[in-house]
Amino acid sequence: MIPYPEISPVIFRIGPLAPRWYGLMYLLGFLAAYFLVRYQLREKGYRDLEPHLDNIIFWGALGLIIGARLGHVLFYFPGYYWKHPLEVFAIWHGGMSFHGGLLGVLITGLIYARKHQLNFWFWADLFVVPAPIGLGLGRLGNFINGELYGRPTDVPWAMVFPKGGPIPRHPSQLYEALGEGLFLFMIMWFLRKKEWPCGFKFATFLVAYGVIRFFIEFFREPDVGVPLLFGWMTRGQQFCLLMVIAGLLLFWIKRKGEKPCKPYL
């Protein structure tokens, strides 16, 4: 067993100012998205699109945060938040859903693209390349917070999490940081120059993320109070299965699409 490195969720305190590691991970994820999407735009010879990037990052970040919080509230614990409505706004208490955040980003991205006559799929293909960096950093934030820990185990690298009782558990946050983060980023970065039809890279991300997380969920402790489908499938696995189906459908729909993908409609 490996001792859990208890790290304070708060980086430092100066009076009422108390930035947290989890928030820093979000910020670093947004910065990675900005610089790596800008790098891809310049790589493709579209420097003139960088002003749109600034706006998309802003609206996408807003959609991500709102969607992630509402996803947690509506998909996982609607009963609790119905009784404690003010807790919906207490994001510092934790509780952000990736699938809700994805929906939030897609909605804000679609609205912005339609308003400015941009090709939504062109931008979606760009943003899914650095997206795993933010996902991996977010899981590191979960690890520091000691939340979303794994199921009981006797593997040599098991850890005892303060919020998980005295039982050694899988450090599943680290599994996800490596799988959904580093490994998936390597895949998407390798594929970034592929001249595929619009939406193919986004579809690849949906399928790859869905498969990776579906598997890792077997090592993660299911959320208390959230029923399992068929007695074993977690809520996260259910949404991942939908992601895989959506990705495969997108492959089929876009199989004869424009190639190479252009930024404008």
| 20 DSSP β-pair partners | 10
Residue with tokens 């493709």: 44
Residue numbering of the annotated binding site:
139
Distances (CA, A) of 230 to 182, 235, 238: 31, 11, 11
Domain boundaries, the chain: 21-254
Whole-structure pTM value: 0.91
220 within 8 A of 234, measured Cβ to Cβ? yes
Q: Are 70 and 100 in contact (CB under 8 A)?
A: yes
Summarised one tens digit per residue, pLDDT across range 106-132 is: 999 999 999 999 999 999 999 999 999
CA 55 to chain centre: 20
Lowest pLDDT segment from 5-14, 172-181, 202-211:
5-14
d(CA 76, CA 61): 22
Task: Determine the pLDDT at residue 209.
Answer: 97
* Residues forming a β-bridge with 150: 220
Task: Please write the tens of the pLDDT for every residue from 212-261.
Answer: 999 999 999 998 888 899 999 999 999 999 999 999 999 999 988 777 88
Model confidence at 91: pLDDT above 70: no
For the chain, the first-to-last Cα distance in angstroms comes to 55
Q: Are 19 and 177 in contact (CB under 8 A)?
A: no
